[in-house]
Amino acid sequence: GIGAASCSIRPNACLMTLLALIPARGGSKGIPRKNIRTFAGQPLIAHTIRAAHQALGGIARVVVSTDDSEIAEVALQWGAEVPFIRPSELAADTTSGIDPVLHALDLIPEATQILLLQPTSPLRTSADIEGILAFKDRKGCPAVVSVTETSKHPQWMVYLNSQNELMPVLSSQVSKNRQQLDPAYVLNGALYLADKSWLQD
């Protein structure tokens, strides 16, 4: 699913220059070297690069932001640009997700829109990319993200307090059948699309 953020009319859509940015740091702890490990016969990052290149809708550049020379080499082999190496301080476990994006925008000033494509979503297709681009144009929103309906509704979520008591996550929980609850969604990490001006505000 696609969700819109802070919807407002975006003028001069035809003047937008769209950058597809693929962030891929080398220091993954959960699965070492995950971004270039083989998945379905190709390096993981290759699936995202290919989907970006195959998508219709005006992507001007497909750029990989990485701190790792091996990832950079694989990205180049699969047709992405690697116009810079990301500084190590922007590739730490504690680095905010927005920092590499703002770094790339500083180095690629002609970009007026950015499409963030995490390589850990290899099942994202070119049709998915085309869908979010079309949705953003249709709605005139400065930012759009992809979401998935959550399998566990927040109405039923609880946490343990300091006395080991179960407490509701929501202050006003209502006991309903699943069919009676409004759908709840969670960011799935596959697609983030935003205007540069909105990100830098």
Side-chain-side CA neighbours of 176 within 13 Å: the count stands at 12
Three-state DSSP at 73 gives helix
Structure pTM? 0.84
> What pLDDT score was predicted for residue 162?
95
Amino acid identity of 68? D
Amino acid identity of 78? W
Amino acid identity of 160? L
User: Angle formed by the axes of helices 44-54 and 69-77, to 10°?
Assistant: 40
> What pLDDT score was predicted for residue 27?
75
First to last CA, the chain: 26
Which residue is associated with the tokens 């550049």?
A: 61
- Mean pLDDT per 10-residue interval, the chain, length 201 residues: 45 65 85 89 97 94 96 97 93 85 95 96 96 95 95 88 91 72 90 95 80
Which residue is associated with the tokens 């005139």?
A: 140
The β-bridge partners of 113 are 18, 195
Residue 18's nearest CA partner among 49, 72, 62 is 62
